[in-house]
Chain A
Amino acid sequence: MSNTKSQQRNQPSKTEILQGTLDLMVLQTLTAMGPQHGYAIAARLEQVSGGAIRLNMGTLYPGLMRLEQRGLVRAEWRVTDTSRRARFYSITASGRRRLETEKADWERMVSIMHALFQPQE
């Protein structure tokens, strides 16, 4: 038990970073790769980030559920390539629109931050 606690204390940053951007990451992954089940999404993010982002189920699934509740993704049970049942998530039209605006916001924020970090001339 004490382990859980100290872990939470030492690495709060991971979940906090994800809080705002998780939606964006999931939507982008689904756009790029088409319908995916939860584990595939997590594996993809882990791979892209070079292992820096490892999504706990307790973070990923509430996030997916939130997206589903807002109508940004759709979920259905399907059979995988390896003939196993899994719940596949795909992006909806309004999810695509949301991704575009979020992306634009994100890029604007990045360029602002970038300009801010530039040494003054």
Chain B
Amino acid sequence: MLREWLHRLWGSLRRNARERDMEEELRRHLEFAAEHEGSERAARVAYGGVTQAMESIRDQRGLPWIDNLVFDLRYGLRTLRTNPGFNALAVSILALGIGANTAVFSVVNAVLIRPLSYNDPGRIVSLTNPHTSGEDSSPLDVKFVSVPNFQDWHDQSSSFEAMAFYYSWENPVSTGATAEYARVAKVSPEFFRVFAVAPAIGRFFSTEEMKPNSNGALMIGYSYWQNHFGGDPGVLGKTIRRYSAAQKIVGVLPPGFGFPDETDLWFPDNDDSPSFHNRDAQNHLVVGRLKPGASIERARTEMTAIAQRLQRQYPLTNKNRTVAVTRIQDQMVGDVRSTLYLLLAAVGVVLLISCANTATLLLGRATVRAREIVIRAALGAGPRRIMRQLLTESALLALLGGAAGLLLAYGGSRALIALAPADLPRLAEIGIDGRVLAFTLGLSILTSVLFGIAPAVCASQVELNDALKQTRSVIGGMVRIRGALVVGEIALAVALLSVSGLLIKSFIALNSVAMGFRPEHVLVMRATGPGSIRDTNIFFKDVVAQIRAVPGVLAAGATMTLPGHIGSSGYYFLDHLPAHHDNLAPDAANAVVTPGTFAALGIPLKAGRDFNDGDTVGNPRVAIVNEALVRKSGSGADVIGRTIFCGFDSEAPMTIVGIVGDVRENGPARDPAPECYMPNRQHFYNNTSLSVVVRTAGDPKALEATVRRLAHDRSSDVPVTFTTLESDVYQSFAAPRFRTVLFTLFAGLAVCLAMAGVYGVMAYAVGQRSGEIGIRMALGASAGSVVRLVLRQGLVLASIGLALGLAAAFSGTRLVRAMLFQVKPNDPSVYFLVAALLCVVALLASYVPAKRASRVDPLEALRQE
């Protein structure tokens, strides 16, 4: 077998010499035969012609597919060159389809497919404690775990090699004179073992450094090391100041490790405050590493059992509380997954449409090339041979399209990154890698088969007799196939357009929800007070007062968390605090603000008063609640003057002095929840970092320099960062915007391609029917009636496509139900608009061919016939 192949390979390589040899042998054969048969002609009738025999011999001689491939490629390239306009069109249509797919796949690849760059990432899991009842628990309540609960999980479980808790935030640190924000994380002892990571240089924390109230130590991230210490190995032993304490750097983590959230500095969580021993104080996130061979199911079963034990043991804090074990990659991806799959489906449909479009183009070409194909068939090329030739040409087109698409995708994935929500996991990893390249190559080949097969089969089935006599009947079949393809294109475009219509409508609904505050014209300065609580209080009080005096400033204040975010939440009680309460008590978001904040944010004061400079630690404790809290507790405006207890920093009673409007802290799609505001100067621990909010008359960015100078003049050691409330809110709409914009873009692309398809088919049909139209006009048909005739034909195609597309959309939009807000998947107005739009598009696309048809000169047309 191998020997035969080697011979054949040799045959392929030494073609010309062997070719001459074979031809001579065949001629000798005919000479001998002629002597016996009497004439050369008789010999040829008996033994066949040299040319046909050579064709069979070639198949046996070389590796035929190599020979043919080389031939087909050469031939294909020549065809490409002879028809640059047509091929440029086909390649760009394919490039759009393949490029869009590659771009979206590069995101899917980075976010969903490529494993996290940790050691054996499949074994790293997160542990959370949702309520079994599910519904009422806030996101914070689910994710955050108390230290005593963690300790029990850790000590009682056997499925984990390591389990750790951590907490991360932005914190000013200084390596030299000035402080700047860095991402810091405090971690429990086994944290680094969870990720099975080893320090690039130095070591991890010692047991001594992890002990409560010890001096602690620091690990720094690789890029922090490069950026702040120039990669100097002498960094070990240097100190970084965090608040007032200086801590020693003991190690550097390897490049690429930044868990969680691209952390710069890690330090041991050697806190020993009361909250550490409070089962109710849920302040930490938990990760674990499964033992080798321990399945996640086993871990789930084990943790559920432990959770049930804890429920019985500590009913007050753990009632209905279970444990959820999730692979870290799945948890990071979260609900992005469905959005990405949706987009992948959309670009898949776009690709199908561009395939159909290219197929109709090729069918059009095939009719032009019918003669060439017939001649090749007549010269002895079998149907399979012709099909292979045409498919090779398709593959060439598709590969060119794929290459162009790759360029598009390169630009496109950058645009995707720019448009993507900033909290899209693994955003930085998006790019073109080997897997994306393989995907594009595979897709190009698949595409070439998809769009090439119909034209190829169609052309290869040419009946020689019919074809040589007249090419019409061949063409008839092709027109029908093209019609079917265009109907398919329209149907797919309609389906995409319907989904995008629903998403747009939903997005508009989302944007018109009253958020409860006015985000426009608000400058935000995040700042962390200098040193002591006293200094910090004075700093914020003075800075806010000075900002208020700046011309163009309408109001100013400062808040712990910007509207649209929840920094903390906990139980609340009115009038009196029960001696025992369980974790099912009503829950409110807690916020700390300075006087004037509500005015600056545009949150209306509904009753009572705002905080003022008298609400300080020496005076009676006060609070302001929102209307949702008033509603939920079943009271009215009489709630002012009553006492409230909040599970925030202390359980001391506070007098309610005001009621403000609701803010949708959990995003526009969720109803406002109860919220309790407290004055910053009565709550020390949570007011070191505040966002100063400044409502301005004009462009808020214009005041940034002034505000920055004021803060610096007040205290040069205060790190500040600036943004606007509008851009912060913009981010919270980023996910729905991302999918709506992209989906609409793809739907638009689909409609354009379908429109081009309708145009192509109609133009072609008009060309084919020019004779018939000429006769009609000769018999007295008016130009108007001819236009109507063609338009009607276009509309028929469009309505069949529309009907199919609407049916598909109707059954398919259920899949996006979860992404819709205040819009039902069968919203009739959306479907009506889509249908109307499609009819207009089809009419437009048919109008130009129709107009041309009406200008047919009857005499000219009849003469051609």
Residues of chain A whose beta carbon lies under 8 Å from any beta carbon of chain B: 1-2, 5, 37-40, 42-43, 54-59, 61-62, 65-66, 68-71, 84-87
Contacts and interface: CB of A to CB of B under 8 A. Distances in A.
Contacts of B378: 1
Contacts of A43: 32, 36
Contact of A61 (B8, B36, B56): B56
A62 B59 contact: yes
A56 B48 contact: yes
A65 B4 contact: no
A39 B27 CA distance: 10
The residue among A43, A58, A59, A86 with the most chain B CB atoms within 10 A of its own CB is A58
A59 B56 contact: yes
B55 A38 contact: no
Contacts of B56: 58-59, 61-62
Contact of A62 (B47, B50, B60): B60
Contacts of B60: 62, 65-66, 69
Contacts of A84: 28, 31
B53 A61 contact: yes
B29 A38 contact: yes
Given A1-B464, A43-B36, A61 B3 contact: no
Sort A-B residue pairs by CB-CB distance and give the 9 closest, nearest first.
A62-B60, A57-B53, A69-B7, A39-B32, A58-B56, A58-B53, A56-B48, A69-B4, A39-B29
B46 interface: yes
Interface string B3-29: 110011001000000000110111011
B464 to A, nearest CB: 6
A10 to B, nearest CB: 16
A65 B22 CA distance: 10
Q: Is the contact region of chain B dominated by helix, strand, or loop, or is it mixed?
A: helix
Interface string B468-492: 1000000000000000000000000
B844 interface: no
A116 B28 CA distance: 45
A84 B28 CA distance: 9
A70 B4 CA distance: 5
B457 interface: no
Nearest to A69: B7
Contacts of A87: 21, 25, 28
Given A39-B28, A69-B8, A56 B47 contact: yes
Contacts of A39: 28-29, 32-33
Interface in B457-472: 464-465, 468
Contacts of B46: 54
B28 A86 contact: yes
B836 interface: no
A65 B47 contact: no
B52 A58 contact: yes
A58 B48 contact: yes
B550 interface: no
A81 to B, nearest CB: 12
Given A1-B378, A42-B47, A71-B3, A65 B57 contact: yes
Contacts of B57: 58, 61-62, 65
Nearest to A38: B29
Given A2-B464, A70-B3, A57 B48 contact: yes
A57 B50 contact: yes
A115 B61 CA distance: 40
Contacts of B7: 68-69
A62 B61 CA distance: 7
A68 B8 CA distance: 11
A61 B11 CA distance: 15
Contacts of B53: 56-58, 61
Most buried by A among B48, B56, B59: B56
Contact of B26 (A5, A40, A57): A57
A58 B380 CA distance: 12
Contacts of B3: 69-71
A38 B25 contact: yes
A5 B464 contact: yes
Given A1-B464, A57-B47, A57-B53, A65 B61 contact: yes
A87 B22 CA distance: 10
Nearest to A68: B7
B58 to A, nearest CB: 9
B28 A37 contact: yes
12 contacts: A38-B28, A39-B29, A40-B32, A57-B26, A57-B30, A57-B53, A59-B56, A62-B57, A68-B7, A69-B3, A86-B25, A87-B28
A56 B46 CA distance: 7
Nearest to A43: B36
Contact of B25 (A61, A62, A66, A71): A61
Interface in B37-51: 46-48, 50
